[in-house]
Chains A and B, each alone.
Chain A
Amino acid sequence: MSNSVISVISRFLEEYSSSTPNKLKVVDAYLLYILLTGALQFLYCLLVGTFPFNSFLSGFISCVGSFILAVCLRIQINPQNKGEFLSISPERAFADFLFAHTVLHLVVMNFIG
């Protein structure tokens, strides 16, 4: 059982490093970074307490929002999905990403207190 899990994982990693274009790997590194930041914030909240609650929420939501937007960007610039996003060029996707981030950061900064 564990054998098959390990073999699935190693197969996956191989496929990933060989067939994913570099651009997407860059975005994936960014996604990992966001994930870790969010997880560490949550850990702090669990260990030390929720004071000040609004700051925690704002930081955590910033991580969650950024993660989601980065995922959207990744989906849109993936060449394999070109058929689904005919009207959206990668540049357009990036511009949307930036705009959405502006709005997200406005809200986050408002809430951070």
Chain B
Amino acid sequence: KLLKRNRICLSVFAVVLALAGAQGLTPAHHLSLPDVARLQSLLSQQFTDLESAYYSVLGLTKLGAAVSDHKQVCRFIKSQLDPTSIDSVFFAAEASQAISGCEIPVSNETRDILLAAVSEDSTMTQIHRAVSALSSLGLPVASQEVVGALTARINKEDNVMAITSALQTAARLSKQAELGGILEEIEDLTARLDDLGGIYLQFEEGLEATAMFVTAAYSLSDHVDMEPPLKEDQVIQLVNSIFSKKSWDSLAEAFSVASAAAALSNNRFHVPVFVSAQGPATVSHSQPTLQLLVTDVMSQPLASANVLVESAYAVASKSIILNQAPFTLNDGVFELNFMSKQPASGYYQFTIAVTGDSRLVANHVELKVKVSTEVAVANMDLSVVDKDQSIGTKTTRVDYPSKAKSSFTADSHQNFAMSFQLVDVNTGVELTPHQTFVRLHNQKTGQEVVFVAEPDSKNLYKFELDTAERKSEFDSISGTYSLYLIVGDATLENPILWNVADVVLKFVDEEAPATIQAKTLYVPKPEIQHLFREPEKKPPTVVSNTFTALVMSPFLLLLILWFKLGANISNFSFSPSTILFHVGHAAMLGLMYVYWTHLNMFQTLKYLAIIGGVTFLAGNRMLAQKAVKRYVS
């Protein structure tokens, strides 16, 4: 049943892959050969205890490297073994399993200690190490009991490393056991991964946790032969996270990276592919083949892969130049003779597909290939043209790389003209490179003026120097200028700097400066004085004080008027609500003053609510009493 489900899964996966066609993610990082070498050398360091021996031996084995001097390692393991410690037995058992001819003697006592560790009261690490040790030593393990203990521990220890250990443990159990529940933990852990920018997928616990998770997930998936619930893009994101770090802090970290590399290059379901060009992705007449390295994440070449170009089109013109062209395998490198299709120089976008194994992930890659060529200058014609066209032009042809024999003279009545063509040496096609400059250099003063030569509609380059119009660029300094032609482009293999001729320019109203002042670009600039905002002019204090007194004076008038009218407070009743009201009202007025000096609106509203509430209630009472008095009288 499991097999059939797996078959259907695989075929659906293959169909999806085929349909996917265009772009998913491709790995940005992998372990290049120097990285693998660095990892190996870190793992080959002299080990000091059993734990480092375990990491070294197993790490090197996973990378496919040889462990030096098995006998010495075996002796070391046996000497360091502590048969009463589960950890010690675990490291010794696993390491000895990896090297040939090393048998660890196991006593009944040790076996009992290991079996006793399989319970829900031990930590996950202890269960994992005990079960692994038992399995490596060839001792029987009660798989169903282990599953029970693991399931109970997963509920208590919910962290990533613990669940990863559970997955690893389950991979050592019998296939008949009920591993379904533990298998589901892979999906739960996948949901806990953090997606960083769509490129990286990792646990916040770090690199070691992520790498060990990948190892454990594939280990268990292979064991039960069920595809892990990781999407293609997620696998690539995990690859990016694990292999982006190129130097490792500890042996444990290095071991985890080595384990992940081994798991990702050799499991039954997902094998990420890394495609890169050998050297720069450039072809030219001298180097007509495009060479590709197609490897797994550990830079091991893929044994059975077919590489072909699905389509290639020119970036500039979008015309398709290749369709379903296969690469040939030549000594571990995939080659394609691109120049045989006689592409014009420029950039081409290749879509490359790697097929041949249904497990391949990220096997559609986009690659930008440059076709470069050599340029030649043809039909370089120099002439001095009279502005009024009365005297016929005299054209001198100059061939690259020689210089014109005589110099050309142009004064304010004449224009100096230059025309030429740039052609591809191999195909004769006219080119329009990015950089075509004409540089005039005054040898005596060191002055340099650069112009751009523009092609017309027929790709013929023309340059005209109007002596009168351009005199400001030259600062009107007459003299002999060397004329250079500069041609350059990213797709040209032979940039050109050609001293074509000498031009004598005569300017009207020549200015005095014999030497050039270099442009003062890098001298300190004049200091900027910051003008702070001037405070507004205030009126003199006398005026303010006078007007303050003046504004207060109507109050006096009010008091006098009220006195004259006979306004009095003889009706003041000393009931509590009245007193409370007046006190509250005075407090509110005081609050207004305090608001002006100290508080902000929020604090004021808060106090106002309290005082106002009290005043309102008291005032309500007081006014009601007054109304009653009024009605009665």
> Is A109's CB under 8 angstroms from B547's CB?
no
The interface residues of chain B lying within 8 Å CB-to-CB of A36 are 554, 557
Binary contact track A19-61/B, C-beta < 8 Å → 1, others 0: 0001001100110111011001100100011011000000000
Q: A40-B547, A44-B547, A112-B596 are in contact. Are A26 and B567 (CB under 8 A)?
A: yes
Contact A22 B588 (CB under 8 A): no
| Given contacts A40-B551, A110-B601, A32 and B561 within 8 Å (CB-CB) | yes
Alpha-carbon distance between A4 and B409 when the two chains are bound, in angstroms:
106
> Is A67 at the interface (CB under 8 A from chain B)?
no
Q: Are B623 and A44 in contact (CB under 8 A)?
A: no
How many residues of chain A have a CB within 8 Å of chain B? 31
Within 8 A of A (CB), among B510-540: 536-539
Measured CA separation A72–B411 after assembly (Å): 94
Residue on A with the closest CB to B631?
A89
A91 within 8 A of partner (CB): yes
- The bracket for how many chain B residues form the interface is 35 or more
CB-contacts of A90-113 with B (<8 A): 90-92, 94-95, 98-99, 102, 105-106, 109-110, 112
Whether A25 lies near B565 (C-beta < 8 A) is: yes
Q: Is B620 an interface residue (CB 8 A)?
A: yes
A33 to B620, CA, bound (A): 28
Q: From B555, which residue of chain A is reached at the shortest CB distance? A: A33
| Docked-complex contact A102 and B608, CB < 8 angstroms | yes
Task: Check A30 against B558 for contact (C-beta < 8 Å).
Answer: yes
Q: How far is it, in angstroms, between the C-alpha of A34 and the C-alpha of B557 when the chains are bound? A: 11
Q: Which of B536, B547, B558, B596 makes the CB contact (< 8 A) with A51? A: B536
B565 pairs with A37, CB closer than 8 A: no
Chain A residue at minimal CB-CB distance from B612: A102
- B543 CB–A CB distance under 8 Å: yes
Residues of B within 8 A of A44 (CB): 547, 550-551
> In chain B, residues 584-633, which have Cβ atoms closer than 8 Å to a Cβ of chain A?
585, 588-589, 592, 595-596, 601, 604, 608, 612, 616, 619-620, 623-624, 626-627, 630
Chain B residues in contact with chain A, CB under 8 A? 536-539, 543, 547, 550-551, 553-555, 557-558, 561-562, 565-567, 585, 588-589, 592, 595-596, 601, 604, 608, 612, 616, 619-620, 623-624, 626-627, 630
Q: Please, which residues of chain A bring their CB within 8 A of the CB of B551?
A: 37, 40-41, 44
Q: Please indicate the chain A residues that have their CB under 8 angstroms from the CB of B608 in the complex.
A: 102, 106
User: Is the contact region of chain A dominated by helix, strand, or loop, or is it mixed?
Assistant: helix
- Contact: B557 with A89, CB < 8 Å? no
Complex Cα spacing A33 to B554, Å: 5
Contact A22 B565 (CB under 8 A): yes
Could you tell me if B596 and A109 are in contact, using CB atoms closer than 8 angstroms? Answer: yes
Q: Please, which residues of chain A bring their CB within 8 A of the CB of B601?
A: 110
Q: What residue of chain A has the Cβ atom nearest to residue B620's Cβ?
A: A95
Give Cα A1–Cα B558 distance, bound, in whole angstroms. Answer: 34
B567, A106: Cβ atoms under 8 Å?
A: no
| Least distance between A75 CB and chain B CB atoms (Å) | 18
Chain B residue numbers with a CB within 8 Å of A26 are 562, 565, 567
Partner of B604, one of A32, A33, A90, A106: A106
Check B623–A94 contact: CB distance below 8 A: yes
Say yes or no: A109-B565 contact (C-beta < 8 A), given A32-B558, A91-B623.
Answer: no
Min C-beta distance of A30 to chain B, whole Å: 6
**Shortest distance between the CB of A89 and any CB in chain B (Å):** 6
22 contacts between A and B (CB under 8 A): A30-B558, A32-B557, A32-B558, A33-B555, A33-B557, A33-B558, A34-B554, A36-B554, A44-B547, A48-B543, A49-B539, A52-B536, A90-B630, A91-B623, A91-B624, A95-B620, A98-B619, A102-B608, A102-B612, A109-B604, A110-B595, A110-B601
Interface-centre pick from B538, B551, B589, B624 (highest chain A CB count, 10 A): B551
The list of the 3 closest CB pairs from A to B, nearest first, reads A91-B623, A33-B558, A36-B554
**Inter-subunit contact B592/A106 (CB<8 Å):** yes
A6: min CB distance to chain B, Å: 23
Residues of A within 8 A of B612 (CB): 102
Q: Which residue of A lies closest to B544 (CB)?
A: A48
Task: Give every chain B residue within 8 A of A106 (Cβ-Cβ).
Answer: 592, 595, 604, 608
Q: How far is the CA of A95 from the CA of B558 in the complex (A)?
A: 22
Q: A22-B566, A40-B547 are in contact. Are A109 and B554 (CB under 8 A)?
A: no
Cross-chain contact B554 with A37 (CB below 8 angstroms)? yes
- Report the separation of the CA atoms of residues A49 and B592 in the bound assembly, to the nearest whole angstrom: 27
Chain A window 59-92, contacts with chain B (Cβ cutoff 8 Å), 1 for yes, 0 for no: 0000000000000000000000000000001111
CB within 8 Å for A109 and B557 given contacts A26-B567, A94-B623, A102-B608: no
| Contact partners of A109 in chain B: CB under 8 A | 592, 595-596, 604
Chain B nearest Cβ from A47, distance in angstroms: 8
B91 to chain A, nearest CB (A): 75
Residues of B within 8 Å of A22, CB to CB, are 565-567
| Complex Cα gap A93–B203 (Å) | 70
Q: Is the CB of B565 within 8 A of A105?
A: no
Residues on the A chain within 8 Å of B604, using CB: 106, 109
A29 touches B554 (CB 8 A): no
The residue in chain A whose Cβ has the minimal distance to the Cβ of B581 is A98
Q: In whole angstroms, what is the CA distance A97 to B480 when docked?
A: 96
Q: Is the CB of A91 within 8 A of B627?
A: yes
A98 to B616, CA, bound (A): 10
CA distance A25 to B565 in the complex (A): 7
20 further A-B contacts with Cβ under 8 Å, apart from A40-B551, A102-B588, are: A22-B565, A22-B567, A25-B565, A26-B562, A32-B557, A33-B561, A34-B554, A37-B555, A40-B547, A44-B550, A44-B551, A51-B537, A51-B538, A52-B536, A91-B624, A94-B623, A95-B620, A99-B616, A102-B612, A105-B592
Chain A's closest residue to B543 (CB) is A48
User: In the assembly, what is the distance between CA of A102 and CA of B595, in Å?
Assistant: 13
Residue of B537, B554, B567, B604 most packed against chain A (CB within 10 A)? B554
Tell me the bound Cα distance from A5 to B558 in angstroms. Answer: 27
The reply to whether A29 and B624 contact each other, CB–CB distance below 8 Å, is: no
CB closest chain-A residue, reference B588: A102
* A29 surroundings in chain B (CB, below 8 A): 558, 561-562, 565
Q: Are B620 and A89 in contact (CB under 8 A)?
A: no
Assembled-state Cα–Cα distance A112/B566 (Å)? 35
CA distance A110 to B630 in the complex (A): 39
Q: How far is the CB of A63 from chain B (nearest CB, A)?
A: 10
Q: A49-B539, A51-B538, A109-B596 are in contact. Are A40 and B557 (CB under 8 A)?
A: no
What is the bound-complex CA distance between A92 and B624, given in angstroms?
9
How far, in Å, is B496 (CB) from chain A's closest CB? 71
Whether B566 lies near A95 (C-beta < 8 A) is no
In whole angstroms, how far apart are the Cα atoms of A41 and B551 in the complex? 7
Chain B contacts for A33, CB-based, 8 A = 554-555, 557-558, 561
The CA-CA distance from A31 to B618 in the complex, in Å, is 27
A106 to B595, CA, bound (A): 9
Nearest A residue to B551 by beta-carbon distance?
Answer: A40
